[in-house]
Structure 1
């Protein structure tokens, strides 16, 4: 599910979103991974939260800049706050 009103437009927002997912703040179950991907229909980039069957649990649109520059952040994960 993607809410069209929610667009992540900075790397800081992407990191906050990843931390929220990592900390269980969205109440999602069975999370297996997060990926930056593009919509097959229109090519629009988004961050996808996937279950262990690679089904989309939650998605948020991202800007092209976040898509291009946030790949390492998604790959390595957000910095943990202690």
Structure 2
């Protein structure tokens, strides 16, 4: 396996102390590099699609390109540590 062959995506939540944001990242499994990320106030499939679009523009990914996205709905219960 080499770079740009196996990628994973995930969404996590971050806070600025006042509000929670959704952070979508794409990570290359070869070297664990974060190759693209997007942040949004909402957790929507568009956030993941925008992150994938950003990565494909950077890497000039051509056709054919297969992308699998498992969509599910979650309602996090944010907590503040401290």
TM bin (shorter chain): 0.3 to 0.5
Radius of gyration: which is bigger?
2
Indicate the structure with greater strand content: 1
Indicate the structure with greater helix content: 1
- Greater relative contact order (Cα < 8 A, sep 6+): 1
Q: Please report the TM-score for the alignment, with normalisation by the length of structure 2.
A: 0.35
